[in-house]
Amino acid sequence: MQKTDPNPSGDLEFTVSPWTAQHVAAIRDDEAALPRIALADVARVSATIDIWDAWPVQDADGRPSALAGDATLWMALASPRFPDPDERHGHARIHLFRKDAGGWTHLGPAMPDGFSPGSREWSGSAVLGEDRRTLTLYFTATGLRGEPAPTFAQRIYRAEASLRAADANGPVFEDWRGLTELFVEDPRWYMASDAGSGSVGTIKAFRDPAFFQDPATGQRYLTFAGSDACSPSAFNGLVGLAVAQDDANRSWAIQPPIVTAAGLNNELERPHLIYQGGAYYLFWSTQRHVFDPAGPTGPTGLYGMVADRVEGPWAPLNGSGLVLANPAEAPAQGYSWLVLPDLTVISFIDNWGPPAADEPRRFGATFAPEVQLVLDGATARRKA
């Protein structure tokens, strides 16, 4: 059942739209299956670091910011390589990459050592200003710098930097400044992010801020992954929202969530918005093991909804929400899908094939082959 909540400022009304077991029960995995990843697709960017969640340095309209030639800058989470790839989450930092006709080039950590307030950095988004020099990074600071053991409190931060001219190592950002926590959980809607157990699949969320500027109104939003404070279920993922309160995007007001998966799924990760053909599309990634096992479960994949306005109500794409899924024969081959305004979809290669003799599992830890979406109203499919 949908419910409507007032905006704290009284300007807007938000419909909290449910993603339910009835929607997931309508899934047909084969209709959304991605091609199988092969050895030829696994091209590591670096021999010394693992790479996962990625996003572009973008213009306000969401497109990757064009630099000289065909080059664009990207950010991704990265860590040193570990025998158990799950260890990477406790060591994650945001790294910078250059993408051009020659492929991907690793440029090192985006932020200087000691700048972030967390013990590790989790996903976000980055916007290059109209001056083509000022970067605004929205990101998740997890834990506390210097803590003896990893904790799981997540805070959403903003920071600025300046782009300096390209040199032999490619463009880099300098003069990092303005580190600010943007907003905190409103307990009316959002559970504390350190309320979970800390084990994989049970961590609660207040993370993954993704910037979106509405082309129809100019209003700026941040979507983020959260956990529903109103649900008694341990499976209580949701998509949260904040609204910019000033033209410089330095002040933000947290809003009610726009989508809840209470009673269905624990993590609606990296939610993000795009605008196409007069409609708004909301996408997120999730994994089969974070669905409530007592109900229908969907495959690990990209899911989404469509609406006539950001505030909702939202309806699941394809009737179920499923847009793209890992194939049944490789159910964990990829993850963390991001849809760009031109409907290109990027992700990373996860557990893509049978493990080699010297590794517990075959973790790709690099960028996956891109695919293209076709959107038509409330339907979404992979372009053949």
Distance CA 122, CA 124 (A): 7
Q: Which of 355, 369, 329 is nearest to 84 (CA)?
A: 355
Distance CA 230, CA 210 (A): 24
Radius of gyration of the chain from its Cα atoms, rounded to whole angstroms: 19
Cβ contact 274:304 at 8 Å:
no
Distance CA 212, CA 281 (A): 11
Cβ contact 265:289 at 8 Å:
no
Helices (H), 47-188: none
Q: H or E element: which one contains 23?
A: helix 21-24
Does the bond joining 369 to the residue before it have cis omega, within 30 degrees of 0?
Answer: no
Spans in the chain with pLDDT lower than 70: 1-12, 166-170, 197-198, 355-360
pLDDT on residue 8: 47
Distance CA 52, CA 54 (A): 6
Distance CA 322, CA 104 (A): 30
Distance CA 205, CA 321 (A): 20
Cβ contact 33:328 at 8 Å:
yes
In single-letter form, the type of residue at position 285 comes to S
Q: What is the signed CA dihedral for 351, 354, 357, 362, rounded to 10 degrees?
A: -10
Instruction: Provide the 3-class DSSP secondary structure of residue 57.
Output: strand
Does the bond joining 256 to the residue before it have cis omega, within 30 degrees of 0?
Answer: no
pLDDT on residue 198: 66
Cβ contact 57:66 at 8 Å:
no
Cβ contact 366:316 at 8 Å:
no
Question: pLDDT tens for residues 194-243?
Answer: 887 667 778 999 999 999 999 999 999 999 999 999 999 999 999 999 99
pLDDT on residue 355: 64
Beta 237-244 vs 3-6: how paired, if at all? unpaired
Predicted structure pTM score:
0.95
Within a 10 A sphere around the Cβ of 294, how many other Cβ atoms? Answer: 10
pLDDT on residue 10: 45
Distance CA 217, CA 213 (A): 8
